[in-house]
Amino acid sequence: MFDELLRLLTLQDANTRTVLLGATALGIASAVVGSFAVLRRRALVGDAVSHAALPGLCLAYLVIGDRNFAAFLAGALVMGVGAAAFIALVKAWTRVKEDAAIALVIGGFFGLGIVLSRSIQNEPSGNRAGLDGFIFGKAASMVASDAALIGAIGAGVIACVALLFKEFRVLCFDRDFASSQGWPSLLLDLLLMTLVCVCTVAGLPAVGVVLMVSLLVIPPAAARFWTNRLGTMVCLAGAFGGAAGALGTGLSATLPAPASALTRGWPTGPLITLVAAAIFVISLLAAPKRGVAADLVRRWTLRRRVARQNLLRRVYEALEPRGDFAAVWTQESIPHSSRALRSALRAGLVERTETGFRLSATGRAAAARVVRAHRLWEIYLITQAQIAPDHVDRDADQIEHVLPPETLATLEAKLAEEGRLPAGVPRSPHRIGAPVEAGALRP
Amino acid sequence: MNEAWFTIGDYEVRNDDLWIVGTAICCAVSCAILGCFLVLRRMSLLGDAISHAILPGLAAAFMLTGSREPMAMLGGALVVGVVTAFLSTALHRWGRVPEDAAMGVVFTSLFAIGVVLITWVARDVDLDPGCVLYGLIEFTPFDTASIAGFEIPRSFAWLFAILVINATLVWIFFKELKIVSFDPALATTIGISAVLVHYGLMTAVAATAVASFEAVGSILVIAMLVAPGATAQLLSDRLSRMIWIAAALAAFSAVLGYALAVWINTSVAGMIASLSLGIFAVTVFAAPRHGLIAREVRRLSLAIRIAQEDALSLLYRRHERAAGAAASAPPLTKHAILEATRAGLIGRVALRRLRRLGLVDATPPGSISVTPRGLEAAAPLIRGHRLWESFLARDLNLPLDHLHEPAHRAEHFLSEEIRERLQAERPEASDPHGRPIPPPSPRS
């Protein structure tokens, strides 16, 4: 099976080559357009549009009376644009909200499609329509000219996005700014929705009406985990979408087909969706920028650093009255969490002696830094933000661990300008209490 | 067993038809009751996501138990349904995925898993994947169970039970649902957990979608959930009435949908779904208060009233100015009035109505003068206008040349009561321009 898949994916088979290329082009195009739809919070309009395409397909069949790919696409496009307009108008004209309008279109238009397709199939000649293939997608039924048409549509869509990249970017991130710059933001919105419709319709033969939205939504959502830049995100989404299209189509062509009443072979749509979902899950877990794993690691390191710094400050403040920061202390004389102590020991901030523990030279410097940051912030809060001295300790606790060095430098420069910069570690402006425990902190 | 009860046209309505219609009504009404809250809480799409996502739950339960044991399927689907709601929220909150995209990712993936599983198991058993799309409500009468000595279709029994449960739950928790739907913050402050209500509602939606699955599939059920509620929202401003209307509409589309589907020989569930969309579309235009037609009629009649009042006060002022002089004012041409008030159809209609009411006189043709009754009718308008001008000048310190415009707009909306209160606070005989304020009409 894998040999076969490999053979397919390396395009050695002329028959599947076109189909595969068509599916890949479609995956790229819809992911690129979908990126903007997702950022514009229009992700599920694509779902409504694709469900609404079903009655369009049926009507095209009823009008033409035969299976004609271009006519199918035209019918689907008309109904899809109609559905998008229906949603926009219901939202604008009535008190019914957008979500209900989308759900109405999904259920109602799909029902209409089912009514039409059932009554077509109850006719003697109806099975020739091949409408069932459009419901869950059947890439294998595509012929070369169909695939070429899909490829051309995809190329057109991508060209359109490339030309209007700047406009779409502003539309997605700051529509009001776009309007204030005199750009036709309503027109751009309509254009974006039309592109979504075109992609959706082009994807129907491969992915089907039910799951087409997954190609619009899942690759961009996955790409979003990897980057904070729109250009990178769109390119990545395109790559993910293309991979999902190619792999899903390849899988559906190679997997041993089950004899099923509905689909006759593996439907392509669910497989493409599942490949895309796998990419999404991997991105969700592993992406270094916004992934969950990276997030957990960041959170965990932060928590450890906070615990360590709290320990240092605690020790520093306990030893401060004596003035001897190299003094030996024990868990009893200065209560603290043993996990923070272990972490500080590993980091070489604390040394073990025969009778207890002692701050190392680096530990003393680090402790002085932490306490200095804490107290500088307290002074800032008291003098600049007018907060009472007995209220600043907690606030400073929250911020001291994440205070960037630049802010600290600005703070010091400000104090120096006013001639109030204390040398070394300033005195605490209030009575000293225990620092907030690490668990209470949120990054 | 399947005897004919009565005939409609040439069609004999048989026992089976009644069972199917009964099942359709139970399904549509139990969906509609919950749907009202989905629509109000803007969670229609979560309902959509859940109904898609129960598919893998059903398939997994089927694969595990190897049978269509209803409790197992209900359990499997319920678990996945609630997991969907939870996963979408989790992706949104912790994965920082936009809310709608999170739902899109979760339910399409789960639905794809469901289709693959069903295609898989359909190799060797009789779980028809077709029912995913449009349900098998037509075959309801063939799968019966004996309950209390009666042969009752299984699907009907389930949906009837769900209908009773949903209705009871909504009846018991009506107050909580209402507060959470309209003011979640208030609900939290008075100790009603919005989260609990949210997940309770989601569980009920999942259970209803599961029970409806066999009858209408997992996509059409969205129309049954949302359409009656959205339609009822246009027809009522009260929650309880909205629920009743939604239930009635649901039952109506179930009955009519079945009849139409039988007539043109097509899918019953699909017909019910498209019919409920059609009813919504008609209601958007025809709803008595919130419909587009009613709103346009209201707007037009307001425009006509304002044109009428503008024409009358124009004539009144001319008459007033001429009354100072010896001669009476020459009548205005129709064209001049339309120019000054509102040209086009609205202005013409307004003038015709004034004439019919006997407030203006149009002899000779083309010229218009005000009748004594017209003067009487214009007096309260002028009174309102000048009182408002005094109010603006005295209390808001607006300069003299800024008074007319706002008063001209406000005069149409100053009720008798407001006029008298203005008068009571500022007992004056003339407005800031020195023109007399007409006395209150003798009728009041």
Q: Does A329 lie at the interface with B, CB-CB under 8 angstroms? A: no
Write down the pLDDT at residue A255. Answer: 74
B281/B298 same-domain check = no
* CATH numbers and ranges of domains, chain A: 2-290 (1.10.3470.10), 297-440 (1.10.10.10)
CA-to-CA separations, A275 to A272, B199, B371, in angstroms, rounded = 5, 30, 82
Give the residue from B322, B348, B370 where a domain finishes. Answer: B370
Write down the pLDDT at residue A443. Answer: 39
Instruction: Identify the H or E element spanning A167.
Output: helix A165-173
Write down the pLDDT at residue B329. Answer: 64
- Select from B180, B159, B100 the least CA-distant residue to A106: B100
Contact B45 A217 (CB under 8 A): no
Residue A411 contacts residue A376 (beta carbons within 8 Å)? yes
Write down the pLDDT at residue A397. Answer: 77
B86/B191 same-domain check = yes
- Select from A258, A142, A177 the least CA-distant residue to B119: A258
B228/B244 same-domain check = yes
Residue B383 contacts residue B438 (beta carbons within 8 Å)? yes
All residues of chain B having their beta carbon less than 8 Å from the beta carbon of residue A260 are 119, 122-123, 129
Q: Does A33 lie at the interface with B, CB-CB under 8 angstroms? A: no
Q: How far does CA A431 lie from the centroid of its chain?
A: 46
B72/B156 same-domain check = yes
**Chain B residue closest to A110 (CA)?**
B220
In the three-class reduction of DSSP (H, G, I as helix; E, B as strand; rest coil), residue A63 is classed as: helix
Q: What are phi and psi of A136, to 5 degrees?
A: -110, 5
**Chain B residue closest to A51 (CA)?**
B219
B125/B22 same-domain check = yes
B175/B312 same-domain check = no
For B129, the closest of A95, A115, A262 (CB atoms) is A262
Those residues with Cβ within 8 angstroms of residue B404's Cβ, 6 or more apart along the chain or in another chain: B389
B196/B282 same-domain check = yes
Among residues 214-253 of chain A, which lie with CB inside 8 Å of chain B? 214, 216-218, 220-221, 224-225
pTM of the model: 0.82
Contact B112 A115 (CB under 8 A): no
B419/B355 same-domain check = no
CA distance B29 to B276: 12
Residue A114 contacts residue B267 (beta carbons within 8 Å)? yes
Token pair of A145, please? Answer: 């000219």
Write down the pLDDT at residue A428. Answer: 77
Token pair of A258, please? Answer: 């089950």
Contact A114 B269 (CB under 8 A): yes
B129/B56 same-domain check = yes
All residues of chain B having their beta carbon less than 8 Å from the beta carbon of residue A47 are 48, 104
Write down the pLDDT at residue A215. Answer: 92
Give the residue from B286, B306, B336 where a domain finishes. Answer: B286
Helices then strands, counting H and E runs in chain B, come out as 18, 7
In the predicted model, residues of chain A with pLDDT beneath 70 are 1-2, 4-15, 125-129, 256-265, 432-443
Long-range contacts of A61-64 (CB under 8 A, 24+ apart): A61/A120, A61/A129, A61/A131, A62/A116, A62/A120
What CATH number is attached to the domain comprising B242?
1.10.3470.10
Residue A290 contacts residue B96 (beta carbons within 8 Å)? yes
Contact A266 B119 (CB under 8 A): yes
Strand-pair category, B144-147 with B150-153? antiparallel
Which residue range is the domain that position B335 belongs to? 291-370
Residue B67 contacts residue B254 (beta carbons within 8 Å)? no
Run means of pLDDT, 10 residues per run, chain B, 444 residues: 70 83 94 94 87 85 78 84 86 86 90 84 58 79 78 87 95 93 89 87 89 86 94 93 96 94 89 94 91 92 90 86 65 79 81 88 80 87 89 86 87 85 79 83 59
Write down the pLDDT at residue A257. Answer: 62
Count the domains in chain B: 3
Contact B220 A111 (CB under 8 A): yes
The DSSP secondary-structure symbol of A151 reads H
CA dihedral A19, A20, A22, A25 (to 10 degrees): 180
For A217, the closest of B105, B221, B284 (CB atoms) is B105
Token pair of A238, please? Answer: 């395109």
B25/B153 same-domain check = yes
Among B216, B222, B231, pick the best mutation site for testing chain A contact (most A Cβ within 10 A): B222
Contact B98 A43 (CB under 8 A): yes
Distance from CA of A13 to the nearest CA of B (A): 26
What CATH number is attached to the domain comprising B435?
1.10.60.10
Those residues with Cβ within 8 angstroms of residue B280's Cβ, 6 or more apart along the chain or in another chain: A104, A108, B227, B230, B231
B154/B11 same-domain check = yes
Those residues with Cβ within 8 angstroms of residue B4's Cβ, 6 or more apart along the chain or in another chain: B12, B13, B14
B150/B250 same-domain check = yes
Residue B196 contacts residue B204 (beta carbons within 8 Å)? no
Is B221 buried (19+), middle (13-18) or exposed (0-12) by CB count in 10 A? buried
Contact A274 B113 (CB under 8 A): yes
CA B129-B18-B70 angle, to 5 degrees, is 40
Q: Give the CA radius of gyration of chain A.
A: 31
Write down the pLDDT at residue B2. Answer: 66
Instruction: Give the ipTM of the model, two decimals please.
Output: 0.85
For A111, the closest of B95, B274, B292 (CB atoms) is B274
Write down the pLDDT at residue A128. Answer: 56
Give the residue from B343, B370, B397 where a domain finishes. Answer: B370
What CATH number is attached to the domain comprising B317?
1.10.10
